[in-house]
Every structure is written in structure tokens, then in C-alpha cells.
Chains A and B, each alone.
Chain A
Amino acid sequence: MAIDEDIIIESVQQLGLEGGENGLILEFGVALTYGFADYYAELEYEAERLFQEETEDELVRQAARELFIEAGHVCGFNTLGGIMESEAWEAVVMPMIEKQEDWIRGIIAVINALGWGRYEIVELIPGEKLVVQVINSYECRHYLEHYGTDAESAKCYLSLGVLSSIMNLIYEGKIVEKPELTETFYHQLFKENKKFVARSISCRAKGDHVCRIEVSKID
């Protein structure tokens, strides 16, 4: 049985994620919020703009961008990792999984239910490379609306971080064995033994037609 994205999206919606008695959404081992897309995007790009007013050093500016990409690693590791270890994943997605790369197709289908935009796999070489087209990402949507199309660098920070975290979790972190998602494991996976990195191939914020991201193995 192939991965059926429609069924996965419907299943996420049927979870009925809303704040409980204490106003928290506790699911997948994390506390979730419905955050406002324009809030997150404004924080990223305004903080970046204010930071750039303080320095013209491109290396320092890039370090700032890396912080936002790391936020995507944190998100991917905890939220997506938590989802891939959840009972809901076991019940809905696992029966559709035939081979290891189906884990990637399955978690991309889940992402498409989270409101982040539409992620489409363009190329997948198992254990080597993943290319994803991101349509209507909330980051670029906001960027285009407020800053235009002449960004000096790609602005899909969340997507960059999240997509590399998926490859690292599945091929290096062996998420199939349900490791405990601790701070120590995070550091091992993303600081010490990181094997997959993401780079932007094209980005709408730079005037391209589509946002496309490639995740590949470090030699």
C-alpha cells in the first residue's frame, strides 16, 4: 500500500487538536500551538533586518540566518520526530509503509496538514538525496508581501531546517527504532554527527518561480 496523503491529512484533522482544560495542546510528546503564520515570519525577517543594521559582515549575517535554520532543526527533531514515534503514526502511516523512503513520504504528508504550505517531493534517492518543492510556504508568502522579490539570500528557513532534520532523523537517527528524543540525542544528530545538510536551489523571495530545497549527504 502506497502512502496516501489524503488519508494522512484527514487523520491529522480528526485528531481534533485544540487546547484542553488547561489550555495546552499536548500531543506527540510536545506542547503544540496554532501559531500565527505572519507572527512567526515577522519575527524572523524583522529580527534579521534589525540585526543587519548592526553589521555588514556577511559571515556574521549568515550566522544569524543559521539560527533560524536551526530553529527548523529543533522543530523537525521534536515535532516531526515525536509524530513518527506516536501511536497515531503507528495506526495510520505505518500500515502504508513498505520501504524506508516511505517514512519520508509519510512525514511530508503530515507536514502538508500543519498549515506550513504544500511540500512536494521532486526527487528522492534513498540515503543520499531529497529534493522538495515548497509551494505557498508561509515564510515566503509573508516575505513577498512585505519585502518584495529581491532578497539577497533564500528565506525558507523553516523548510531548510525541517527537511534536513527529516533526512538526519530517518537515515542517521534511526527513528524507526524509536530513540528517546532528548537534548543529548539532538546534539549528537545535529552538532556532532550531522550527515545531511539542506541548501536552497531556488526561492521565491529571490525572484524565482518556486522554492526548491535539496538535502544531500555531506561527503
Chain B
Amino acid sequence: MSASISFDKERNILKIGNQPVVLHCHHYNMFLQQSISDLIGDEKARTLQISAAHRVISRLYESIRVNYSDPEQILTLGSETFKKLGYGIIDFSKVSASGGKILLPMSHYAFNWFEKFGPAKKGVCLFAMGFALATMNKAFGTSFDSTDIRETQCRAMNPEEYEYCIIEVGKNGN
């Protein structure tokens, strides 16, 4: 189950749901992410990228038809869409309405960051964090502001030691 990608030939726009998407390579993605940190610092860059990802994915879910009363369907939709768009593999099987651990056996950002730049000092799966949070918010009816999210393990930091990336989600203050 995933949303389909369509091409508007008149305007040369690709879309998934109502969201325009563009094909870009990992060199561009990594360079842009690093540039944002260089310009405004790691913390502001982190906040900006997670919240921007959350916004586009939330809008995506608003635009595609799915049985929103079933959290499992939304989590499956999220996993399949993440994979289809080329971001890797995201596993929501260990989450519930109160949070939990999200595993990424493959992450476009983590894998390619290490390939391009070498070991990262911090987790780099910022888009995946926003994506995951928007998916969980939609699945469980929670809000962005009430949830806390952290990447506790990122393969880009040490691929020999970390087989997976791990994103942990909990309620704010916990």
C-alpha cells in the first residue's frame, strides 16, 4: 500500500498525493543538509529540517485516501511510501500511541552521508525523523508539539558498530 507518483506533463511537475516531488541525488541531499547546518548551526538546522519534513508529510497524508481509523494502515502506508520514494526502510512495528522505537535498517541519509563525508558527529536522519513523527501523529491522533523525538543511533556515525538507525519517540517530558 503506497501512494502513486504522477507526472503532470503540462507543467512538468511530479506529484505524490497533492505534494510536488522532485528527483534529486544523494550528493545534493547531503550537500544541502550540511550547508543548512553550516549557515544556521546544528540545533536550528535540526529543528528546521524535522519540522519542514513533518509539514510536507502531514499534508501528504491529508491528501491521500486511507482508512484513518486504523493506525496500522497508516503506519504501513508510511513504510511503503518511505521505501517507494527512495529513503530506505523504516519499521514502525515497535511503536504504539505512547511512542516507541522506530528502526531504519536502511536510511538514504545515513548510508550516503557516511559514503560522502565519512563518520557523522550526530545523527543525520532528520528528514526521516519528521517523516516518522508525521506518520505517528496521523496514526495515533497525537500532535507534533506533544511528542519528543530523538535519533539515538545513526549508522552514519559508525556503520561498523551500528547496523540500524534508531529513532525514539515519546511524549514530551518523558
Question: CB distance A70 to B20 under 8 Å?
Answer: no
Contacts of B121 in A (CB 8 A): none
Q: Of A18, A35, A68, which one neighbours B84 at CB under 8 angstroms?
A: A18
Question: CB distance A40 to B53 under 8 Å?
Answer: no
Question: CB distance A31 to B31 under 8 Å?
Answer: no
* Chain A proximity mask over B1-35: 1 for CB below 8 Å, otherwise 0: 00001010101111010011111111111011001
Contacts of A46 in B (CB 8 A): 48, 52
Shortest distance from the beta carbon of B31 to any chain A beta carbon, whole Å:
5
Question: CB distance A136 to B27 under 8 Å?
Answer: no
Question: CB distance A68 to B28 under 8 Å?
Answer: no
28 contacts between A and B (CB under 8 A): A19-B85, A23-B88, A23-B89, A28-B25, A31-B26, A32-B26, A34-B86, A35-B21, A35-B24, A36-B19, A36-B20, A36-B53, A39-B52, A40-B32, A47-B39, A51-B39, A64-B39, A68-B32, A68-B35, A74-B28, A74-B31, A75-B24, A75-B27, A78-B28, A115-B7, A115-B21, A115-B23, A116-B12
Contacts of B38 in A (CB 8 A): 67
Contacts of B9 in A (CB 8 A): 9
> What is the number of residues of chain B that contact chain A, defined by CB distance less than 8 Å?
51
Shortest distance from the beta carbon of A18 to any chain B beta carbon, whole Å:
5
> In the docked arrangement, what's the CA distance between A138 and B8, Å?
13
Question: CB distance B24 to A67 under 8 Å?
Answer: no
Contacts of B86 in A (CB 8 A): 17-19, 23-25, 31-34
Q: Of B13, B28, B29, which one neighbours A136 at CB under 8 angstroms?
A: B13
Using a CB-CB cutoff of 8 Å, which residues 42-77 of chain A contact chain B? 42-44, 46-48, 50-51, 64, 67-68, 70-71, 74-75, 77
> In the docked arrangement, what's the CA distance between A71 and B56, Å?
21
Q: With A34-B5, A38-B56 as given contacts, are A43 and B13 in contact (CB-CB < 8 Å)? A: no
Question: CB distance B25 to A30 under 8 Å?
Answer: yes
> In the docked arrangement, what's the CA distance between A25 and B23, Å?
10
Question: CB distance B106 to A114 under 8 Å?
Answer: no
B112 CB within 8 Å of chain A: yes
Contacts of A50 in B (CB 8 A): 39-40, 44, 48
